[in-house]
Amino acid sequence: MSRPRVVFIGTGGTISSLGKGPLDTVDYGSTGNMMDAEGILARFPEVQLVADVFPVPFSAVPSPNIHFPEWKALVLLCDKVVAENPGLAGIVIGHGTASLEETAYALHLAAKVPVPIVVTGSQRPASALSTDAGLNLVNAVRVAADPGARGLGVMVLLNDEIQCAREVTKTSTGRMQTFRSPDFGVLGQADGDRVVWYRRPLRLGAPETVFDIRPLDSLPRVDISYAYAGADGTAVRAFLAAGAKGIVSAGFAPGFCGPGDLEPLKQAVKDGVIVIQCSRAGSGRVFPSTKLKEYGFLTADNLNPQKARILLAMALTVTQDPAEVARIFATY
């Protein structure tokens, strides 16, 4: 029986980092020493015990530097490796954890390949004592090669847990169990004996989406206005002056902006800017209240602000109609 073939794309981050020594779990970024995909596979040869894994070159950068240009490049690279490797079981992408959830969700909305894509990373650098890099990589490969992963869109694998890209978020700066899906929990687990599955997401994801970023040079500008006591609308006005086509209001729970932000946001709607009301709470739906409808604000469902920003930017590539944007937020 032939072994599954899996591509590994390394984009940098902690999983690729080499610190000053085995006890360096905090300041490793200062070395600037990051391995490419080939180097990571060489450091953790055990990954070849579960599949035939081969590296595909990509730039190694800190994850806060990854945004639209890299998302587009990854979408195109996934197209290329699938076209050149008939029978490929899946794709694993190594990524820094700081913005991992954003890249995973962007790919969940924009990737067009039929094979599973699993994004993984680590909380401790590859050089650290008790690093999680090796096992996360092995388990990500196991998940990408598992037949049960088909049709689930883009997934995130860390700490043995399989999460949906739409739902997962980083919840701790340093703990190993940092990636959680607050409202719905894991899709499954990569246990020592096998990969087990417990649920399937119902919201649409890759490759069955209306979004195609491959011909685009950029996404429409969308900014996040964060609610706090005493906010006076300065940030909202600055975003509008910078040319924002959409604004996500990361409001007080259960979903409303501060009084100082309200008037500039209402004016934004009058000027044709889409405003999405979100919550800074980290969990739960924003309800379409009478006041939000009066203001012309749309709601983010249960997406966190950074995910709502990505979906709104993607939505604005296909429509500027508020009703259609609302439908998209109810679909993806």
Which residues are catalytically annotated?
Answer: 14
CA–CA gap between residue 14 and residue 44 (Å, rounded)? 14
* Helix H or strand E segment including 274: strand 274-279
CA–CA gap between residue 332 and residue 322 (Å, rounded)? 15
The residue type of 318 is V
Question: Rg of the chain over CA atoms, in angstroms?
Answer: 20
Tell me the backbone φ, ψ of residue 137, rounded to 5 degrees: -65, -45
Q: Where are the alpha helices (DSSP H) in the chain?
A: 37-43, 68-84, 100-110, 133-145, 234-241, 259-270, 290-295, 305-315, 322-331
Does residue 140 sit in helix, strand or coil? helix
